[in-house]
Amino acid sequence: MSVDFKKQNKASFRKAAIVAAIAPLFALSASSAWALTQVTGFGSNPGALTMYKHVPASMPANAPLVVAMHGCTQSASAYEATGWTALANTYKFYVVYPEQISGNNQNKCFNWFEPGDIGRGAGEALSIKQMVDNMKANYSIDANRVYVTGLSAGGYMVNVMLATYPDVFAGGAPFSGGPYKCATSMNAAFSCMSPGVDKTPAAWGDLARGGYSGYTGRKPKVSIWHGDADYTVKQMNQVEEMEQWTNYHGVSQTATTSNTVAGFPHKVYGSGLVETYTITGMGHGTPVDPGTGSTQCGTAGAYILDVNICSSYYVSQFWGILGGGGTTTTTVAGTTSTTSSGTTTTTATTTTTTAGACYKTSNYTHVTSGRAYNSSGYAKANGSNQNMGLNNTFYTTKLRKTGTNYYVIDNTCP
């Protein structure tokens, strides 16, 4: 489909109505505190999107990649305020920021409700996938650690990418979004956002599975975030997203773990395949916690909300990408070398060992073997602190080593 054909046939006057309804909610126009690089010629780009990237200094081999999508009227640079660029600099992963153009959508919303943009191999979905392909072609990226996140229209688009490209994305994190194919027209989009659309878990799961029919490979893990005071995209959408992705994974809609993180309700489903965060008192936006603490990040602004939890940090932890790249470097006194954290030291020799060994055994064995620890009866992975479920011989978890004493849940392990 050509760009001209797309522009002429997207019923722009109808889109104007929906974006006008939500545009006042995204008045952010702050300039970036970081320097993004625009990438051109990254593919056929049938969705006519713009690509920006952030590449931290001193990147290790086999590093993760995160795709982060803005909300309506926002820009790629504005969405850096959610903390992804700063976290990438610290933990050494790449970030791609897709950007919508007004020629596709009057207020730069990703077109999550347009049939031509939400199918595998077409439109905006394909353009985003081509951005990932471009990064893989130019950098040493671990294909098993590519993730996608986004806010509002970008959050809806996260679920598009997970359903249509589960072979590309190992995980996703929609913020204030809704289920895949909650709407396939402008009129349906209004109902999807508010009050929401109620389907059975099986019906939602079938829609997600239909994004790539016949797919039998690895399935993405999903972290779903929503404010309970969101009157733009009602919180009912979070429940429907949970039902979609738990059914997609074939796990129960009853949480295996319910606790609080930074004071907010947090639930885990299955063996850490799906999680939800409900941010009490928060409206429509991405939660951040500005500051310099190890779990803090972000800069508050319009619909990037300071509610004392750095969502980008906890999503990264859930995905297991806080352990750096795919190699662990051990230095011993005398030549000059650079570690994966970007620190240059003078040493005699440098011994590099490849991280990535997989361990599949009971949670009890993981704990007794030193890969995890017991926390109030639950096993938690060393380093990532991911909850693996009950600490006993009946729960089995696949752990991958991604750094020194750093383990993440990875269901792609054999």
Pick the closest to residue 407 from 379, 384, 387 (CA basis): 384
The conformation of residue 297, written as its DSSP 8-state character, comes to B
The conformation of residue 265, written as its DSSP 8-state character, comes to E
> Which residue's structure tokens are 């471009």?
134
Of the residues 152, 271, 340, 384, only one is catalytic, namely 152
Half-sphere exposure in the Cβ direction for 4 (13 Å, CA)? 0
Residues whose CB falls within 8 Å of the CB of residue 250, separated by 6 or more in sequence, listed in order: none
Three-state DSSP state, 21: helix
Residues whose CB falls within 8 Å of the CB of residue 158, separated by 6 or more in sequence, listed in order: 69, 148, 149, 150, 172, 173, 174, 177
Of all residues in the chain, what percent are helix, strand and coil, respectively (each to 5)? Answer: 30, 30, 45
Three-state DSSP state, 361: strand
Three-state DSSP state, 292: coil
Structure tokens at 108: 């730069």
b/e sequence 8-46, b meaning 16+ C-beta within 10 Å: eebeeeebeebbebbbebbebeeebeeebeeeeebbebb
Handedness of CA 145, 169, 68, 125 (dihedral sign): positive
CA distance 101 to 108: 5
312 is a catalytic site residue: no
Is the separation of the CB atoms in 93 and 63 below 8 Å?
yes
Is the separation of the CB atoms in 179 and 274 below 8 Å?
no
Three-state DSSP state, 119: coil
Residues known to be catalytic: 152
